[in-house]
Amino acid sequence: MNEPTYTKPMLKEGSLEGKTILITGGGTGLGKAMGKYFTELGADLIIASRKLEKLEETAKELSENSGRTVLPVQCDVSDYASVEKLLKTSVEKFGKVDGIVNNAAGNFISPTERLSNRAFDIIVNIVLKGTYNTTLAFGKHWIEQKQKATVLNIVTTYAWTGSAYVVPSAVSKAGVLALTRSLAVEWAKYGIRFNAIAPGPFPTKGAWDRLLPGELQDKFDFKNKVPLKRVGEHQELANLAAYLISDFSSYINGEVVTIDGGEWLQGAGQFNMLEAIPSEMWDVIEKMVRQTK
């Protein structure tokens, strides 16, 4: 059977040539998938997170695959001094950074009343503080250098719906979305664009092990929550991210693009539960409704 189109690269060759892009959390999961595609499109890359060994392994793999330079930098995004060091190292190596993907995250499921204040802090510090730390450090630099740039923030659909059992993450992603829309206006005058992607379920080890551990994976198969009855493919997210970080999307600013197969709307629409009604029952139902005076 032919591979579906959405698993294939979308943009034309060289679309990111001349660009240097930072991806936080770029050593694993979706960050790695985006990084792989960005380098295939001609970008050089900085990948930054806490675990240097993992970053080095990914950097080697991506640069061997594409021939591009991939710089692994150990950085804890929740620590501003660490982010300033990342900025310095990046500029020393490449001269400039054209874009950031704020992708680093921490998350796990838990009833909120079971969380210690430290557990709440740790998620907010990675997701929200981490995103504004990189944005502030790199933003100040870009403004001072009069350099145009693009920021792409990875949120999720519960940034606007909220979600039980992942409250620190929901609070943080909502903040990141507000940051995206606020600075899209405030920093447009400096030529700095801000957009966000809200992915639905995309299988990664980091997310799956923490959000649906063990048997929960069979009990609550993510596919069943998605009208299209499938989870996301990494390449389709990478295609969207590459477009939004590239100059092809120059007139898109302050937008959040949802890529979830319709998942969050299925949960939202008041009568979406009627999907469970078999089609042969609709004749009877219609008759009952028509009889109502």
Distance CA 7, CA 1 (A): 13
Give the list of residues 6+ apart from residue 35 with CB closer than 8 angstroms, or none: 23, 26, 45, 47, 58, 62, 70
- Token duo for residue 154: 């990875």
217 is a site residue for ligand HXC (CB under 6 A): no
Helices and strands in the chain: count of H runs, count of E runs: 12, 7
**Helix, strand or coil for residue 175?**
helix
50 is a site residue for ligand NAP (CB under 6 A): yes
Whose CB is nearest to ligand NAP?
Answer: 206
Task: Give the distance between the most distant pair of CA atoms in the chain.
Answer: 77
Please give the distance of CA 94 from its chain centroid, rounded to a whole number.
24
**Helix, strand or coil for residue 93?**
helix
262 is a site residue for ligand HXC (CB under 6 A): no
204 is a site residue for ligand NAP (CB under 6 A): yes
Stretch that binds ligand HXC, among 35-43, 94-102, 106-114, 250-258 (CB under 6 A): 106-114
25 is a site residue for ligand NAP (CB under 6 A): yes
Stretch that binds ligand NAP, among 6-14, 103-111, 185-193, 273-281 (CB under 6 A): 103-111
Closest C-alpha among 158, 168, 171 to residue 113: 168
Fill in the per-residue mask, 111 to 150: x = in contact with ligand NAP (CB under 6 A), - = not in contact.
---------------x---x--------------------
Tell me which of 158, 165, 190, 243 is the catalytic residue: 158
Catalytic annotation present for 158: yes
Can you tell me which of 110, 143, 171, 252 binds ligand HXC, judged by CB under 6 A?
110
- Least spacing, CB of residue 201 vs ligand HXC, in Å: 5
Distance CA 118, CA 95 (A): 38
Q: Which of residues 118-137 bind ligand HXC (CB under 6 A)?
A: 118-119, 122-123
105 is a site residue for ligand NAP (CB under 6 A): yes
- Token duo for residue 255: 């937008």
> Of 54 and 181, which CB lies nearer to ligand NAP in the complex structure?
54
**Helix, strand or coil for residue 152?**
strand
- Least spacing, CB of residue 164 vs ligand HXC, in Å: 13
> Of 136 and 143, which CB lies nearer to ligand NAP in the complex structure?
136
**Helix, strand or coil for residue 203?**
coil
Closest C-alpha among 230, 189, 214, 242 to residue 23: 242
Distance CA 241, CA 152 (A): 8
Whose structure tokens read 């909220």? 162
Q: Which does 122 bind (CB under 5 to 8 A by kind): ligand HXC, ligand NAP, none?
A: ligand HXC
Q: Which does 49 bind (CB under 5 to 8 A by kind): ligand HXC, ligand NAP, none?
A: ligand NAP
Q: Which does 110 bind (CB under 5 to 8 A by kind): ligand HXC, ligand NAP, none?
A: ligand HXC
Closest C-alpha among 195, 200, 203, 205 to residue 242: 195
Active site residues: 158
Give the footprint of ligand HXC on this chain (CB under 6 A): 105-108, 110, 114-116, 118-119, 122-123, 156, 169, 201, 206-207, 210-211
